[in-house]
Chain A
């Protein structure tokens, strides 16, 4: 084989061993996506075949040799209506089918496990709820719906896993989300598909899909010792958030326990659902999202907290199920070196403080879809 040029030899070897024609289906949504894909491919193929057959047969039947004089035909409303309505019908089927698929991919189920992903030039950073950090890789278990909450620190990126058939842009300033449920263990490509500057093509990584047991092992092996919510709690304290958000009757800020997922009446008149995006915005642009009954006094934390920090805070607030944690935080802040934390003396406030606004608006907090 030595006499064959190495380039051709290399090429042949790759042809035989490494020639992919169709991506693996490794998520629950993948076969559904492929069904629509093949349906469309089939329709296209049929359409193309019809056009080619017609053109070829007309070319043979009505070539100048066989058919020297053309017959002038104005048109045919019936025929034209046929090839207007049939494609229209097919396209509408594709639209409906595609839209159903779209909403399935971008509507995470309520029980999805949330992993935060921050994109920056040129790497992906994943923050697991257990506090595990990863760069350019993502370890996930099979058989469990995983929701990704994505944000970018700088330019547009796009988180793409071809084997799962999902993709979502990570854009600066706003959370986006996508979900999937992996079905087959293995290692799959992770690409950034939105052009993001010089090393765009190096912003790639691996999606490592593990069996539940392996996943547990991985979780245990890569723990940072503190869960995401715990680091959020620490940040919450060090930023003195609890100076106002302390669940006391005279607190200057709303109680944050159980706030996640509830509907809040805003001072500006609207109603907002306290989801991840809302919480993030309230930290960075508080005066835009003031809850009814509270004054516009919260300072902005834009530029003071990194995207990872905001994520930790959001995760902490999400998990605040009772006022107890706030109390606890209050006590821990006393241990912090900064003495400037202005907490009201005698921090034994009662529990009954309403969440954000008086009437029982927080009832909805549990049953609803969380984003």
Chain B
């Protein structure tokens, strides 16, 4: 667990030493353009026959886009460990819900020995 480090961050914040990171606009512009490009890519990719890879590519592009938004627009890249941990915890539980539920559905078809 990262209580210790998190606490350090907390104390830092409390003593007013915490310096707020300000992302320069050029980063936002770059991310914005990248997101638009990826949107075009994902639409294009859906028209190409790739078999099982179609949904995988679509989701992969979605993940990349979402990661960019989280890291830069939402500023997680420059934020405290606590925020990173929070984001991770959310993803983890989200994946647990989806993953373990789907695991049941998929393994039902594996037969009932």
Q: Is the CB of A103 within 8 A of B113?
A: yes
Q: Is the CB of A107 within 8 A of B113?
A: yes
Does B21 interact with chain A (Cβ within 8 Å)?
Answer: no
Report how many residues on chain B are interfacial, defined by Cβ distance under 8 Å: 4
Q: Is the CB of A273 within 8 A of B113?
A: no
Does A218 interact with chain B (Cβ within 8 Å)?
Answer: no
Does B111 interact with chain A (Cβ within 8 Å)?
Answer: yes
Q: How far is the CA of A369 from the CA of B112 in the complex (A)?
A: 9
Does A215 interact with chain B (Cβ within 8 Å)?
Answer: no
Residues of B within 8 A of A270 (CB): 109
A-B pair count, CB < 8 Å, reads: 9
B109 to chain A, nearest CB (A): 8
Most interface-central of B111, B112, B113 (chain A CB within 10 A): B112
Q: How far is the CA of A300 from the CA of B12 in the complex (A)?
A: 67
Does A371 interact with chain B (Cβ within 8 Å)?
Answer: yes
Residues of A within 8 A of B113 (CB): 103, 107, 369
Q: How far is the CA of A107 from the CA of B111 in the complex (A)?
A: 11
Does A294 interact with chain B (Cβ within 8 Å)?
Answer: no
The 6 closest A-B pairs by CB, nearest first: A371-B112, A107-B113, A273-B111, A106-B112, A369-B113, A107-B112
Q: How far is the CA of A239 from the CA of B113 in the complex (A)?
A: 34
Q: How far is the CA of A103 from the CA of B113 in the complex (A)?
A: 8
Which chain B residues numbered 88 to 113 have a C-beta less than 8 Å away from chain A?
A: 109, 111-113
B79 to chain A, nearest CB (A): 36
A264 to chain B, nearest CB (A): 13
Known interface pairs A272-B109, A273-B111, A369-B113; 6 further A-B residue pairs with C-beta atoms within 8 A, sorted by A's residue number: A103-B113, A106-B112, A107-B112, A107-B113, A270-B109, A371-B112
Q: How far is the CA of A106 from the CA of B112 in the complex (A)?
A: 8
Q: How far is the CA of A284 from the CA of B113 in the complex (A)?
A: 25
Residue of B nearest to A176 (CB): B112
A211 to chain B, nearest CB (A): 32
Which chain B residues numbered 54 to 113 have a C-beta less than 8 Å away from chain A?
A: 109, 111-113
Which chain A residues numbered 241 to 276 have a C-beta less than 8 Å away from chain B?
A: 270, 272-273
B20 to chain A, nearest CB (A): 41
Residue of A nearest to B52 (CB): A269
Q: How far is the CA of A273 from the CA of B109 in the complex (A)?
A: 9
| Contact bitstring A74-114, B, C-beta under 8 A = 1, else 0 | 00000000000000000000000000000100110000000
